[in-house]
Chain A
Amino acid sequence: MKKRTRLIAAFLALVTLFGLFASFAQPAQAAETTSLSAIKKRGTIKIAVFGDLPPYGWVDKNGKRQGYDIALAKQVGKDLGVKVKYVQVNADSRVDALNSNKVDLVLANFTVTPERKQVISFAKAYMKVSIGVISPKSKPITKVSQLKGKDLIVNKGTTAEQYFTKNSKGATLQKYDSKTQQFNALKNGRAAALADDNSYLYAWVKNNPKYTVGIKHLGPNQYIAPGIKKGNTSLLKWTNKEITKLNNNGFFDKNYNQNLKPYFGSDVTAKDIVIK
């Protein structure tokens, strides 16, 4: 009995200790170390990127970073006149990396969502993705109305599933657990078409030329944008200007042709991905 009370006391002490830590803790001065002037003074910008997501951010066999996001990062460094230091992150540490000042900017296929907007800021989007629908080239589906009365394959947990569950457009849904399963089902002729993120579909169709992305955009666009810490207005303003400038001088078209086109095949043009 005595032992137990002592244990409880020890536990409470620990909790109190934590509480003390938390109460002393003051949020670090926003933008103190990541502001535009601080970056210029430091001579390096720290950019969070992916290392395992070709063709957006990956590492080639010689250990060099490659991809659509990396090309943008390089350009940002060049235009700021500073060196770029890459910090490789995972999808779920992108927000924390910004908020703990580990990085100044996130260029890691970062989709703008209302939840994320509450904790960080997004600059102007530089890429768009939306739902696409693929079907056999022999029986192409190019309009949503064609889906009526037919079977449609979706992958559970994707935006495509959400979209068609809300509004099936008269199609019967077949839901699969993985990408491999859903594509196999389509190949076996279980349904007339398959809906998923269009960027996936472009890459898949490249390797399966019997199919085509008949509907390229469906539902609301989702945007990929640079992530910046909340309150860091100087860098946000600069990045917005930079994206506009790069849009006008054709940088993103060039970047698309260099990094994404080899993966997506000829079905897609820069217009489908790049924002104008």
Chain B
Amino acid sequence: MAHSGINVLFAGQNFSRLLGGLWISAKISIVALVIGILLGVLLGALRTVKNPLLRTILRLYLEFFRIVPTVVLLFLFYYILPKNFNVNLNAQAVAMLVFALWVAAEMSDIVRGALISVPQHQKEAGLAIGLNGPQLYRYVLLPQAVGLMIPATINLMTRVIKTTSLLLLISVMDVVNIGQQIIEANRQQYPDGAFWIYGLIFILYFLLCYPLSAWARRLEQRQNNNA
């Protein structure tokens, strides 16, 4: 009787429902990260270009997404903007869009920081052998910046995965949302069900995030060996 709450996890389809929720969280994170990182690299490169107007616009974009809390952004894109502009995206699409824009903003700063810390003489050497602007970025600056970007990027990835727990506010059936459904459905019968459900969710998030950290460590080591 002492640990009866664990029964909640395996009653009916509860376990597979939680995994289904985890898949939604993972899917949204992956799509947002792929789009966001690609866009972020582009924006980051543009931010090192010496054009005051472009720089100001990109800076404002970054500050907007960095300062405004993700919850507010989600509400803004899901409830407020559709009301005003008559566009209606479903909740998952909104989640992917908001997260991708957020990742792109944060990523642009990571990329910019990495690019400007590539030694100046590398750039000059590249120009000296006749590379043009895009070629300079493609062959000289970005490859050397990647190693510098990895720790912060992985950190951003795990943050995005963890932030998917906010998505229940805009009706996305993510793993936390389904966990709460299960807890409340069993509150009468198993008052300690919450402990087991949140325990399992903790493990699931860990399983999602830990491989990323391990991967980051390997990439960093490889980078160091190459250097």
What's the Cα separation between A264 and B75 when bound, in Å?
A: 36
CB within 8 Å for A52 and B184 given contacts A33-B88, A63-B13: yes
B14 touches A101 (CB 8 A): no
Contact of A102 among B12, B79, B86, B178 (CB under 8 A): B79
B83 touches A100 (CB 8 A): yes
User: Could you tell me which residues of chain A, from 19 to 65, have a CB within 8 Å of some CB in chain B?
Assistant: 21-22, 24-29, 32-33, 51-54, 58-63
B183 CB contacts on chain A under 8 angstroms: 52
> Which B residue's beta carbon lies closest to that of A59?
B181
Contact of A62 among B13, B79, B170, B180 (CB under 8 A): B13
Measured as residues with beta carbon below 8 angstroms from the partner, the interface class of chain B is 35 or more
A93 CB contacts on chain B under 8 angstroms: 79, 169-171
User: Could you tell me which residues of chain A, from 207 to 245, have a CB within 8 Å of some CB in chain B?
Assistant: 207
Say whether A99 faces chain B, with CB atoms less than 8 Å apart: yes
A13 CB contacts on chain B under 8 angstroms: 56, 60
Say whether B82 faces chain A, with CB atoms less than 8 Å apart: yes
Say whether B63 faces chain A, with CB atoms less than 8 Å apart: yes
Say whether B17 faces chain A, with CB atoms less than 8 Å apart: yes
- Expressed in whole angstroms, the minimum distance between the Cβ of B117 and any Cβ of chain A is 21
A32 CB contacts on chain B under 8 angstroms: 86
Contact of A10 among B56, B170, B187 (CB under 8 A): B56
Say whether B139 faces chain A, with CB atoms less than 8 Å apart: no
Contact of B59 among A10, A25, A29 (CB under 8 A): A10
What's the Cα separation between A71 and B26 when bound, in Å?
A: 32
What's the Cα separation between A183 and B84 when bound, in Å?
A: 47
A14 touches B63 (CB 8 A): yes
- Say whether chain B's binding surface is mostly helix, strand, loop, or mixed: helix
A63 CB contacts on chain B under 8 angstroms: 12-13, 17
B80 CB contacts on chain A under 8 angstroms: 100
Say whether B78 faces chain A, with CB atoms less than 8 Å apart: yes
A21 CB contacts on chain B under 8 angstroms: 84
Say whether A185 faces chain B, with CB atoms less than 8 Å apart: no
> Which A residue's beta carbon lies closest to that of B82?
A100
B12 CB contacts on chain A under 8 angstroms: 60-63
What's the Cα separation between A13 and B53 when bound, in Å?
A: 13
Say whether B173 faces chain A, with CB atoms less than 8 Å apart: yes
Q: Which of A72-80, A84-92, A137-145, A246-254 contacts B (4 or more CB under 8 A)?
A: A84-92
Say whether B207 faces chain A, with CB atoms less than 8 Å apart: no
Contact indicator per residue, chain B 58-91, by CB within 8 Å of chain A (1) or not (0): 0110011000000000010011101111101000
What's the Cα separation between A14 and B181 when bound, in Å?
A: 40
Q: Which positions in A face B, CB cutoff 8 Å?
A: 10, 13-14, 17, 21-22, 24-29, 32-33, 51-54, 58-63, 87-90, 93, 96-97, 99-102, 207
Q: Which positions in B face A, CB cutoff 8 Å?
A: 11-14, 17, 56, 59-60, 63-64, 75, 78-80, 82-86, 88, 168-171, 173, 177-178, 180-185, 187-188
Some 9 contacts from A to B, beta carbons below 8 A apart, are A10-B63, A14-B63, A21-B84, A25-B84, A52-B184, A54-B185, A59-B181, A61-B185, A93-B169
